[in-house]
Chains A and B, each alone.
Chain A
Amino acid sequence: GAVVSQHPSRVICKSGTSVKIECRSLDFQATTMFWYRQFPKQSLMLMATSNEGSKATYEQGVEKDKFLINHASLTLSTLTVTSAHPEDSSFYICSASFQGTGQPQHFGDGTRLSIL
């Protein structure tokens, strides 16, 4: 099946640090990538949708200046959490799909972010 690689798998850093998370589709061209956040024992929360070569669309309540998304190619999207604080600690998961085909979204393994 389709493979989505997400890196790093775990980050522990000090408050105020900016953290970049990469999401790559390894065997298909991902026209659209999605970024989710999930707190413990809670459901997935969609943060933003990014289409290759255009600006990301953020969900209501998600600060676009805080969570910078770049989707520069059909195989790579990055999420940068700027000036991270302890409340940003969460499980961040990307997924990718080839939109317009009805195909499923495929998820990366997620990044567990812990801000001290």
Chain B
Amino acid sequence: QKEVEQNSGPLSVPEGAIASLNCTYSDRGSQSFFWYRQYSGKSPELIMFIYSNGDKEDGRFTAQLNKASQYVSLLIRDSQPSDSATYLCAVRPGRDDKIIFGKGTRLHILP
């Protein structure tokens, strides 16, 4: 059973600080990694994807991938109250495989 694990939270972070969200996955051969944001009552929205080891930055967001440790993380710099949401980690084991979603981490940015 291929799995994606996330801490459910809630993770509370002061406004302006760095929020760090973590995710581990079970299939060592996984190739594609995604972070989605889901506001309450809304559908998930893709915010980052990463395919290679290392860091990928996009604005205030940085995705980090460590395939040896089977670990992917999302950093949010200068956290804003509007970043409060559930963040879903998603992993595609192979090019033709369906994406497997974690259960999500609830992030709460404290004003």
Tier of interface size on chain B: 20 to 34
Interface string of B76-111 (1 = CB under 8 A from A): 000000000000101010011011011110000000
Instruction: Give the contacting residue for B96; candidates A6, A99, A104, A106; CB below 8 A.
Output: A99
How many whole Å from A59's CB to the nearest CB in chain B? 10
Chain A interface residue count, CB cutoff 8 Å, equals: 23
Which A residues are in CB contact (< 8 Å) with B104? 43
Are A102 and B95 touching (Cβ within 8 A)?
yes
> Which residue of chain A has the shortest Cβ distance to B100 in the bound complex?
A46
Instruction: Give the contacting residue for B44; candidates A1, A6, A46, A107; CB below 8 A.
Output: A107
Which A residues are in CB contact (< 8 Å) with B25? none
* Majority secondary structure, B binding face: loop
Indicate if A109 sits at the interface (CB-CB under 8 A): yes
For this complex, 10 residue pairs linking A to B, each with C-beta atoms less than 8 Å apart, are A43-B102, A43-B103, A44-B88, A93-B43, A100-B96, A105-B99, A107-B45, A108-B43, A109-B42, A110-B43
Give the A-binding residues of B (Cβ under 8 A).
Answer: 31-32, 34, 36, 41-46, 49, 51, 88, 90, 92, 95-96, 98-99, 101-104
